[in-house]
Amino acid sequence: MATLAGFGAVVLWATLALFTTLSGAVPPLQLLAMSFAIGGTLGLIAGARRRGWRSWRQPWPVWALGVGGLFGYHLLYVLALRWAPAVQASLIAYLWPLMIVLLASLGTGLRAHHLIGALIGLAGAALIVTGGQGIALSGEYAIGYATALVAAVFWAGYSVLSRRFAQVPTDVVTGFCLATAALATVAHLALEQTVWPSGTEWMAVVGLGTGPVGLAFFLWDIGVKRGDLPVLGAASYAAPLLSTIVLIVAGQAEATWLIGLASVLITGGAILAARDMLFRRS
């Protein structure tokens, strides 16, 4: 069930692109600050009855990992998109599921089907991100590429290292979200001009804070702490595929044969990586 909870986060992240598109011209760091503030506030309300804030009294490494993972990854990703072309930066950043598979296998031995499944999923994600056109890396954008790679390391590291704090209640993610909102606000004021959303755009911002930048992180915390990490890593490549499907359904993108091929690759890679879990002998 924990692995399914983690995959629930992947499903919610599939709505990220749609809600971001519908949020209008709100700058990315401002959008992150607003979304994390909404997600953290909803976490406070959900945990109020059991006084979930009591779980916030944790050693500093827990906070460093949680806030560093949430804020660090998103800040680095936004900067990568500023310093390098979006397609190349996004694809490099999407190395994090493969990194999760590799890091989760340290000390336990790398299982071939986990690695192959993750590589097949990466190929499917590359088709979606690049549109099948391939990419060319230019030394001119080296800083942007490096930033995207560090972003991938941040999220993979956060996901794998969270397992070492499996005893920490998921309620603490509320504190991570609120701290991330505060830091994103500071970064926004330093790097961006404030643009407030209109009436309908506010609905998209609330959607972001409720789902892909809210509940998703609570589900991911459960998944990475108690679920099958290599399977989650490989299955995470479904996010760009599901995101594209959501955009197609919403009329924001068109269906192509590339999406069909990517579907086969990502689904096949996830099934291969989850072989032990799906076909476990009774």
Question: What is the predicted pLDDT for the residue at 194?
Answer: 96
Question: What is the predicted pLDDT for the residue at 253?
Answer: 67
Q: What is the pLDDT of residues 168-186, one digit of tens each?
A: 999 999 999 999 999 999 9
Task: Provide DSSP, 166-218.
Answer: TTS-TTHHHHHHHHHHHHHHHHHHHH-------HHHHHHHHHHHHIIIIIHHH
Above pLDDT 70, what percent of the chain? Answer: 90
The two tokens of residue 212 are 């892909």
DSSP strand E in 2-46: where? Answer: none
Instruction: Give me the amino acid identity at 93.
Output: A
- Cα–Cα distance list, 227 to 3, 154, 163, 216, 263 (Å): 4, 20, 9, 15, 24
As a whole number, the mean pLDDT across the chain is 85
CA-based torsion, 239, 241, 246, 252: positive or negative: positive
Question: What is the predicted pLDDT for the residue at 281?
Answer: 44
Question: What is the predicted pLDDT for the residue at 171?
Answer: 93
Structural domain spans, the chain: 2-275
- Which stretches of the chain drop beneath a pLDDT of 70? 87, 107-110, 129-137, 253, 273-282
**Residue 177: closest CA among 218, 207, 205, 206:** 218
CA-based torsion, 133, 134, 135, 136: positive or negative: negative
Question: What is the predicted pLDDT for the residue at 135?
Answer: 60
Contacts of 41 (CB under 8 A, 6+ apart): 178, 209
Burial 189-206, CB ≥16 within 10 A → b, else e = eeebeeeebeeebeebbb
